[in-house]
Amino acid sequence: MSPTILIVEDEPPLIEVLRYNLESAGFATLVATDGEDALLLAAEETPNLIVLDWMLPKLSGIDVCRRLREAKATKTVPIIMLTARGEEGDKISGLDAGADDYVVKPFSPSELIARVRAVLRRSDPKFGEEKLDYADITVDLVAHKVTRAGQPVHLGPTEYRLLQTLMERPTRVFSREQLLDLVWGRDIYVEERTVDVHVRRLRKALNETGGADLIRTIRRGGYSIDIG
């Protein structure tokens, strides 16, 4: 069963970014667009984690955080707060109010997903997805190490994130644009050709161990990891 994340955010574009990235990483999502809604949904659905924006209509994120901590049903649900850049005070008050962690806006999707995973892992070891396995490839998400048929595969940080993204959903085809969003982040302008360059490096590193090529190139479509 995939963990359910409650997104509490009032700006539609940011809701979409959060939802898209969390769902692509295999999480189920719920959305509340104001603080009161968030408290109701959290009590009704007891999500596995809450991503809570600081700036919200009606109740502020910090008030929502406090109230979630006071209520019996939501007392132990992990909370990650989204704070604005440079608001050092916000981070501290957020943690004081009971948040487990915070992410500073603007954030890269991979950073957010990594935080969500880390907080989930701490809250309940059953969500501690520490490894991704597919075919003879293993990605150790804690040690950031990759092996193929038991042999170490050495990857740069971008190739690692690329492999992790593909391994989270084996056989699913990711377009270049999706990979740019998931691996590089939406705020960064990178040409789609860059994806091809890094896929080529990843493929080379994976195949150095002598195994079959598991990265499928779909003409005009994108890439997937697939035994075929």
Q: Smallest distance from the beta carbon of 167 to Ca ion, in angstroms?
A: 32
- Tell me the number of residues near Ca ion by CB under 5 A: 3
CA 202 to chain centre: 21
Show the CA angle centred on residue 118, arms to residues 78 and 162, nearest 5°: 135
Q: Smallest distance from the beta carbon of 74 to Ca ion, in angstroms?
A: 20
Peptide bond into 125 cis (omega under 30): no
CB atoms within 10 A of CB 69: 15
Rounding to the nearest 10 degrees, give the CA dihedral for residues 52, 55, 60, 65: 20
Q: Is 202 helix (H, G, I), strand (E, B) or coil?
A: helix
For position 10 contacting Ca ion by CB under 5 A, the verdict is yes
Segment contacting Ca ion (CB under 5 A): 10-18, 66-74, 115-123, 178-186? Answer: 10-18
- Pairing of the two strands 101-105 and 222-225: unpaired
* Residue from 28, 30, 43, 55 in contact with Ca ion (CB under 5 A): 55
Q: Which is nearer to Ca ion, 73 or 84 (CB)?
A: 84
* Residue from 32, 39, 53, 83 in contact with Ca ion (CB under 5 A): 53
Q: Which is nearer to Ca ion, 54 or 127 (CB)?
A: 54
Q: Smallest distance from the beta carbon of 54 to Ca ion, in angstroms?
A: 7
Q: Smallest distance from the beta carbon of 59 to Ca ion, in angstroms?
A: 12
Amino acid residing at 156 = G
The residue ranges that bind Ca ion (CB under 5 A) are: 10, 53, 55
